[in-house]
Structure 1
Amino acid sequence: MSDWRVSGFTEVMELGRGGQGRVVLATHATAGTPVAIKYLSAAADREPLRHEARMLGTVESPHVARLYRLVETEQGVALIMEAVEGVTLKEVLARHGELAPEAALVVLKGSLLGLAAAHAVGVVHRDYKPANVMVPADGRSKLIDFGVAVAAGAASASGTPAYMAPEQWRGEAVSPATDVYAATCVFFECVTGRRPFAGADGHLSEEPPAEDVAAPLRPLVTAGLAKDAAGRPASASAFVEELERIATEEYGDGWEDRGLRVLAGAAVALAALFPLAAAGLGSGAAAGGVAGGAAAGGSAAGGSAASTTAGFLAKVGTAKAIAAAGGAAAVVAAGGGVAVWQAGDDGPPPRAFTPGEVTLASETIGDPAVNLAEGTVRFVRVSGHSDPAVQQRINAALHAPVDQAVSDYRRLLEAAGGLENQSVPGAARPIEMRSEIVYRGPRLLSVRYLVHIPVYVAGGSYITPRAVNIELATGRVLGPEQIFTAAALKDPNLAELSRRVPPPPADPAGGLECGYRTMTERTRLAPDDPLTGVSFSLTKDRLVTVFTPDEHCIAFRFYKPNSVPYASVENLIRPDVLKLATATTPP
């Protein structure tokens, strides 16, 4: 398939490529607003696509990425869609393996609500899977890629095998219950870290592995994975009602807020994969603004088919968005030419960037079930940012160390053999967290937390500094992989970084090495992070580090920050990061 392009849009980067086609991130040539464009080959069956687009164009749900425009040419078909800033659930699960029950329930609820919105207009997704669920920085999941969607009642054997319902394996008619089955497969994977069945035989004949999840969640797994579609919940909406009842009874009224925070933290931890930020496009525009930009440009052509397509394309934007864009019109060339949605030329005006106020916040956390005493942790929040979406992303990143501390506590307690193996049974202690604003510049905020997590076996605490560096205009989080050049991180044992940014003084008794590599091997919680155990904070003129001591080095390592001027490490730090840190005016 040739890589043709829709006129009026500038391709920024390719997001994926597969058997159906390719997906790219693009911007409208005039308005600059970002969109995702899925290109399908000329051999694609166009009539079902037109039918599905007419229906999907009317779907307005915060849990479904919106379809803005369908373009047909001799070279192929293109779907112009909302560009969602976030990471796929597939990436989240690859990084974390499994999610806390509240977070998995939030994923299932959001997915079911999105599927219910599609089902309401007669569309069955039939390829629901973790790769088709986006998790933005606010943790609220959103469905993408209805590329193999069909009308309810159609026969279909298409989909992704790991999540296909029995009726799909048999090539029978699909229904909303087909999507409910796939959503339950993904829910099971979120909770357990693995898929419920290994192949066709499992989906067709094995009983749902409900015993592998916590007892309160078993009714959801049993109902959602029923072999007979008639035995599953009557609708995605009905399944949501049952989910909320079980979640509230088992996890309390705040289950959804807790789950959202966990998901937000998981997404922000992978902020380097956010497509808009990676492409330097910031957080993108609001839905209405994107709609206006996606609609702008292109050529109009007349034809008898205009009336039906105009109806669904005009409904893609809300009334407010269409009014802001200066009116809308949609036409299709007769004979299957080009579908165009025209809604103004310039899109939304750029908004002045205001970083907002930085303040200290606090929260009381505790969990009697795992003997975690209630305690107050302190973290940093931003308010008054000119872009609410960016502010939400920033605050999720600033709260992420709290969620990570609770997750680390559970992991360390499990590794220590659980509550029954505590050295002092019943001696619950709280997590402690101190926060410090290291630098607040016009484009960058750097915050450092010192986290104390109780460790029961042999007493003591797991103590670690966590640095959060955030680009204020976009909410992009700058971890080691974003701060340092690839060459600096690939250097054997990080020798050059250790030499330029030395650890605190060595063991006065001699013979004990506690450099980057030794420290991280003993204190690492994330095996794929080469720099766990060292925090890096950015300031206006220097790089500040704090090392995490372990039991071997604690007598000789203290939590005293060490700093070096950028001049000493500038060829190890990415130029764009230096520019952010040293800027004197907002962008």
Structure 2
Amino acid sequence: MDGDWRVEGYTEVRELGAGAQGRVVLARHDASGTPVAIKYLATRADEADRERLRHEALMLGRAESPHVARLFRLVEGPETTAIVMEAVDGVSLKELLNRHGALGPEASLAVLKGSLLGLAAAHAVGVVHRDYKPANVVVPADGRSRLVDFGIAAAAGAEAGGAGTPYYMAPEQWSRHVATPASDVYAATCVFVECVTGRRPYTGGRAELMRAHLTGEIPVDAVPEALRPLVRRGMAKAPEDRPGGAALFVDDLERTAGETYGRDWEARGVRALSAGAVALAALFPLAAWLMPGAAGAATAATAAGTATGTAAGAAAGTGAGAGAASTAGKVAGASAIKAFLGSGAGMTAAAVGTAAVIGAGAVAVQQVTKDDPAPRPSATARVADVRPCVTQAPGAVITPSGGPAKVTLPAQVTLPKNAAVYRSGQGLLIGPAGDECEGSIGANGGSSTVGDFGTAEVTQVWQGSIGGIRSQLCQYFPESAQADRERAQGNECTSALGNWEPLETGVPGVQAVLTRGLGTDDLPPSPAVKAEVAVLTRDGAVSPISCVAPAANADICKSALVLWFVQHLGDAKPAEAVLDEAAKRIAGYVDATRI
């Protein structure tokens, strides 16, 4: 880096990439050990460069989603500017395609879905990415892709200019029209074609690419026939002929994928992505490099490859983990890590003095000091074994395998001695330790239950049909904006619950409620407790969980409801104080239901 200045409070671990505009480094927050990525602008950068980095921080800060790399802060100094952001531990989609070629339909659909969800979060707050491409998608060991680099993002409706990557630029970007979410949909569809076929939709020089995007045939010949309508809609030449935004396109994708590849298409696709990413574990930027006192890059690379490969290989249900561990140990840090946060012009960078902390679309300026809080410290919590929740489906029995055998519980969760952690298809459940977790899946929904009235009964119900989703929404969140939209469309939307109260989430657009549920006929002998928590996401999905128990086992209900709440907000990273207060509220509410 030009000069010796570093952002205070962080120890640089290694360089991830560099370019004419600056560099990106992997760093560790000194107080908490939290890994971060810091983009440093070159000290010779002019005011226009610094303004572009401020703009990128603002755009990235508005898009809150588990599929978007999270922004922590923007820091400005007398000679340069920096942004501190989440360090995504994975490999770029570009690298996956370069090494493995075509990913196959289900893995390609899983990449497209994750990308669309990340873009949808940006579109929901009026941001258009404008440079969606494989280099800006990171695939971690869990196989769930993350969107990075908002370097040329723009507000929806703004003049788009000609910026972007020619292989993926929508026709309106070539003709200098305004930025729209439909432009991102086009780019994501181009990348989907590349994933499923192993080739870019169009090739050639800039002039040839321009003609192809503006007037060329939509390249569907090498795409499986059932998926061609998705490509035709997503790559339609006129923006108005495409889905109006990424969220709408997700609906099309899920319907098509389910009809073509079955209900579990996504699980298979994610496993395939996980295996592909883990095979390149030596390129992952984190793991053992972040451990204080790590003994050299070679040793760290071996440890990182072993740990990451073993865990993700187990999740994928393949032998890829062991292979990746071996590969990581052999190449021990020899590969340059350009997969992280894109490359080239996207690799801008850094600084200090005054910090602008950006989140939920708001910008607050504060002075940076040595004691300034950094990205959220890692919580110290109990490590628990995870047991499977066996689910009965039509003609099949499903045992979830998508996760490790142990889990670190959030700091807000205390696991009672007579309780255990179970993994269902919808998340982790806490229930009585002496019982089996059982579930069922039907045509339009499903449920997972562990325990009984003798100890505690914890139940999570999910809906798969439009009517069922609407019913859950109206039952738990009748006063939400989503419920208002249902009524405006002529749908009945009322709730039979008369005993619910809001629960603060600390995440804009995400709501939660506490309720006793319906009736008291389903209680164990008095004294007993009964409570439910439901979380409503921005896209209108409701995730409820209920617990009924003898009062002597109320702690199982408290832990079950708190874990469900925290894990459904965890990717959005609400403040620890919010989670602490919510846990306190949930515990008090459970106690108050005692009758």
Residue type of the alignment partner of 2:271: R
Residues 1:169 and 2:178 are matched in the alignment: no
Secondary structure of the 1:146 match is coil
Matched, 1:202 2:212: yes
Aligned to 1:88: 92
Amino acid at match of 1:141: S
Whether contact under 8 Å (2:52, 2:151) holds in the other structure is no
Q: State the shift of 1:46 in Å.
A: 3.8
- What is the CA–CA distance in structure 2 between the aligned matches of 1:132 and 1:31, rounded to whole Å? 28
Match of 2:2 in 1: 2
Q: 1:77 to 1:94 in 2, by over 3 A?
A: same
Q: d(CA) in 2 for partners of 1:247 and 1:130?
A: 21
Aligned to 1:187: 192
Give the superposition deviation at 1:275. Answer: 0.7
Say if 2:135 is the partner of 1:131: yes
Structure-1 separation of matches of 2:161 and 2:402: 51
Cα shift readout 1:369-416 (whole Å, capped 9, x = no counterpart): xxxxx999999985234379xxxxxxxxxxxxxxxxxxxxxxxxxxxx
Contact 1:52/1:151 (<8 A) preserved: no
Contact 1:361–1:381 (CA<8 Å) still a contact in 2?
no
Task: Rate the CA distance shift 1:378–1:230 in 2: closer, same or farther, 3 A.
Answer: closer
Q: How is 1:94-109 mapped onto 2 (pairs within 5 angstroms)?
A: 94-109=98-113
Unaligned runs of 5+ in 2: 292-303, 309-350, 411-595
Shift of 1:98: 0.8
Q: Secondary structure at the match of 2:221?
A: helix
Match of 1:386 among 408, 411, 416: 408
Matched residues, number:
347
Rg: which structure is higher?
1
SS at 2:16's partner residue?
strand
Does 26-35 or 198-207 show the bigger shift? 198-207
Kindly state the Cα deviation for residue 248 of structure 1 after the two structures are TM-superposed. 1.1
Structure 1 residue 61, shift from structure 2 partner? 0.6
Give 2:277's aligned residue: 267
How far apart in 2 are the matches of 1:49 and 1:385?
Answer: 37
**Pair 1:30–1:219, CA change in 2 (3 A):** same
Return the match for 1:145 from 146, 149, 155. Answer: 149
- SS at 2:75 equivalent: strand
Say if 1:382 and 1:228 are closer, same or farther in 2 by CA, change over 3 A: closer
Deviation digits for residues 306-353 of structure 1 (CA, Å, limit 9, x no counterpart)? 9xx56xx36489xxxxxxxxxxx95246xxxxx789763796366479
1:502 match: none
Kept in 2: contact 1:67–1:80 (CA 8 A): yes
* Counterpart position of 2:537: none
Identify if the C-alpha distance between structure 1 residues 351 and 377 changes in structure 2 by more than 3 Å, giving closer, same or farther: closer
Contact 1:210 1:218 in 2 (8 A): yes
Q: After alignment, is 48-57 or 122-131 more displaced?
A: 48-57
Amino acid at match of 2:25: V
SS of the equivalent of 1:207 reads: coil
Letter in 2 for 1:70: L
- Is the Cα contact below 8 Å between 1:360 and 1:381 reproduced in 2? no
Closer, same or farther: CA 376–151 of 1 in aligned 2, 3 Å: closer
CA distance in structure 2 between the partners assigned to 1:178 and 1:119 by the alignment: 11
Q: What does 1:11-410 align with in structure 2 at a 5 Å threshold?
A: 11-41=12-42, 42-43=45-46, 44-152=48-156, 153-199=158-204, 200=209, 201-277=211-287, 279-281=289-291, 313=358, 315=360, 330-332=364-366, 344=373, 348=377, 351=380, 382-386=404-408
2:337 maps to none
Q: State the shift of 1:204 in Å.
A: 2.5
- Deviation for aligned residue 1:222: 1.2
Work out whether residues 22 and 41 of structure 2, in 8 Å CA contact, stay in contact via their aligned partners in 1: yes
Counterparts of 1:63 and 1:40 in 2: how far apart (Å)?
A: 25
What's the offset of the Cα at 1:79? 1.4
Q: CA deviation at 1:137?
A: 1.4
Any conservation in 2 of the 1:116–1:236 contact (CA below 8 Å)? yes
Contact persistence 1:71–1:340 (CA under 8 A): no
Distance 1:377 1:142, change over 3 A: closer
> Is the partner of 2:227 in helix, strand or coil?
helix
Q: State how far apart, in whole Å, the 1-side matches of 2:84 and 2:252 are.
A: 35
Cα distance in 2 for partners of 1:27, 1:169 equals 41
TM-score normalised by the chain length of structure 1 = 0.52
Higher relative contact order (CA 8 A, sep 6+): 2
Segment of structure 1 superposing worse, 187-196 or 252-261: 252-261
